[in-house]
Amino acid sequence: MRSALLAIVIGLVGAAIIHIVIILALPMWTGKDAWTRVRMLGAMNRFYSLANEPNTTGLYNEDPHIRSAVCRFDISDGPVRIIASGDVPIWTVSAYDVSSNETYSMNDRSAIGTGVNITFVTPTQMLQLRRVMPRALERAVLVELGQPQGYVVLRAVAPTPSQQPAARSFLDTAVCTRITIDPA
């Protein structure tokens, strides 16, 4: 009798451990998290504009007034520069790591100038840039990321149908490119 009770108690302790393991491990095994879906979109270092309707990629603009584009990047071999400009009333941008945790976000109010000009760098690249800042990056917002891989989402607001073309071209002409810094 006592050993049966012991077996149940050990079983309950085991159940608690397995409960915790399942909850913590689940994000890695769903197979449909945002990072997996972004990776399925295609190559790195280019923006993919999302459709307004639900589709097989699993990613779409939930809000018809807010269009978005996604770019996957890996900065281990060099910084990645995000540039976009155009006539949109509001734009926002945010970056996420591979577990879809937000690493950086900003909007047009907090930008210098009117367009998006952000460069994602690793801590090492940041040190190099501090020594010699290339002219091209002088006005860029430098963002240091702990993880080299991630994705960046650019959103353009189009409150009325007549503003949709401007929002679309803002996202279509957005650049997400790897740059090289001279090891001076």
Partner 1 sequence: MFRLPALVALTLAIAFGGGAWSASWMLKATSGFGAITLGSWSAYPDLQTVDADPFAKAHRAGDGKILLGRAEGLVFTARSDESGAALSGRCSYEISGSTPPARFWTLRVTDADGMPLDAPERVPVSLNSWTTLRNVDGTFRIRLGAAPEPGNWIWLDSPGDVGFVLTLIDTPTAASVSMVELDMPKIALIGCADA
Rank residues 68 and 125 by Cβ distance to partner 1 and give the closer one: 68
Site size for partner 1 (CB under 8 A): 62
* Residue 151 phi, psi dihedral angles, 5° rounding: -140, 155
List own/partner pairs for 54-61 with CB under 8 A and 24 or more apart: 58/32, 59/34
Instruction: Classify 31 as helix, strand or coil.
Output: coil
Q: Does 165 bind partner 1 (CB under 8 A)?
A: no
141 touches partner 1 (CB under 8 A): no
DSSP string, 150-184: EEEEEEEE--SGGGHHHHHHHHHT-EEEE------
d(CA 21, CA 27): 11
Specify the residue, 99 or 173, whose C-beta has the smaller distance to partner 1: 99
Give the nearest distance from C-beta 32 to partner 1 in angstroms.
Answer: 4
Nearer to partner 1 (CB atom), residue 18 or residue 133: 18
Kindly identify the residues of this chain, within the stretch 78-97, that bind partner 1 according to CB under 8 A. 89-90, 92-96
Binding piece for partner 1, criterion CB under 8 A, among 52-60, 72-80, 112-120, 165-173: 52-60
Does the protein bind partner 1 through residue 22 (CB under 8 A)?
yes
Q: Looking at 23-31, 112-120, 137-145, 176-184, which segment touches partner 1 (CB under 8 A)? A: 23-31
> What sections of the chain are H helices per DSSP?
2-29, 34-41, 123-131, 164-172
Contact present, 139 and 60 (Cβ < 8 Å): no
Q: Which of 44, 45, 58, 83 binds partner 1 (CB under 8 A)?
A: 58
